[in-house]
Amino acid sequence: MTTTEHHRPRHEEPREGGSAHEINEGHGGHDKHAGHDPEMFRRLFWWNLVLAVPVLVFSGQIQDWFDYSIDGGWAAWVAPVLGTVIYLWGGRPFLAGGVAEIRSRQPGMMLLIALAITVAYVSSVAASLHWGDLDFWWELAALIVVMLLGHWQEMKAIGQARGALAALAELLPDTAERVTGTTIEDVTMADLVVDDVVLVRPGGRVPADGVIVDGRAAFDESMITGESRPITRDEGDRVVAGTVSTDSSVRVRIDAVGDDTALAGIQRLVADAQSSQSRAQALADRAAAALFYLATGAAVATLVAWLLAGDGAEGVIRAVTVLVIACPHALGLAIPLVISISTATSARAGILVKNRLALERMRTVDAVLFDKTGTLTRGNHAVIDHAAVDGWDRDDVLALAAAVEADSEHPIARAIVTAGHNSGDVPTATELGALTGMGVQGTVNGHEIALGGPALLEHLAAAEPAALAPTLQHWRDRGGSVLYVFRDSAVIGALTLADEVRPESRIAADALHRQGKQVVLITGDARQVADGVAAELGIDEVFAEVLPQEKDSKVAELQDRGLTVAMVGDGVNDAPALARADVGIAIGAGTDVAIESAGVVLASSDPRGVNGVIELSEATYTKMVQNLLWATAYNLLAIPIAAGVFAFAGLSLPPAAAAVAMSASTIIVAANAQLLRRLDLRPSAVDARAAHQPVHS
Kindly report the backbone phi and psi dihedral angles of residue 665, in degrees, each rounded to the nearest multiple of 5, phi listed first: -60, -45
What distance in Å separates the CA atoms of residue 559 and residue 517, rounded to the nearest whole number? 14
DSSP character for 121? H
Q: Are 499 and 381 in contact (CB under 8 A)?
A: yes
Q: Are 322 and 305 in contact (CB under 8 A)?
A: no
What distance in Å separates the CA atoms of residue 78 and residue 85, rounded to the nearest whole number? 11
Could you give the residue ranges of the DSSP H alpha helices within 540-653?
551-560, 575-580, 592-597, 609-643
H or E stretch covering 318? helix 312-325
In this structure, which amino acid lies at residue 57? V
CA distance readout (Å), 244 to 125, 163, 316: 64, 21, 64
Helix (H, G, I), strand (E, B) or coil at 340: helix
DSSP character for 86? I
Per the DSSP assignment, residues forming a β-bridge with 444 are: 447
- How many Cα atoms are found within 13 Å in the side-chain-facing hemisphere of 45? 16
What distance in Å separates the CA atoms of residue 497 and residue 481, rounded to the nearest whole number? 5
What distance in Å separates the CA atoms of residue 276 and residue 31, rounded to the nearest whole number? 11
What distance in Å separates the CA atoms of residue 270 and residue 264, rounded to the nearest whole number? 10
CA distance readout (Å), 70 to 57, 61, 74: 9, 12, 10
Q: For this structure, is 371 an active site residue?
A: yes
If you write DSSP's letter for every residue of 497-542 in order, what string do you get?
A: EEEEEPHHHHHHHHHHHHTT-EEEEE-SS-HHHHHHHHHHHT-SEE
Catalytic residue, chosen from 135, 196, 371, 531, is 371
Beta-strand (E) ranges in 10-102?
none
DSSP character for 205? B
If you write DSSP's letter for every residue of 628-666 in order, what string do you get?
A: HHHHHHHHHHHHHHHHTTTGGGT----HHHHHHHHHHHH
Please give the biggest Cα pair distance in the chain: 121
Per the DSSP assignment, residues forming a β-bridge with 377 are: 501
Radius of gyration of the chain from Cα atoms? Answer: 34
Which residue, 249, 229, 246, 260, is CA-closest to 350? Answer: 229
Q: How far apart are the first and last CA of the chain?
A: 40
Q: Is the Cα dihedral 470, 471, 477, 483 positive or negative?
A: negative
In this structure, which amino acid lies at residue 37? D
Helices and strands: H and E segment counts in the chain? 25, 22
Q: Are 331 and 632 in contact (CB under 8 A)?
A: yes
What distance in Å separates the CA atoms of residue 629 and residue 622, rounded to the nearest whole number? 11
What distance in Å separates the CA atoms of residue 86 and residue 59, rounded to the nearest whole number? 15
DSSP character for 34? T
H or E stretch covering 404? helix 394-404
Residues catalogued as catalytic: 371
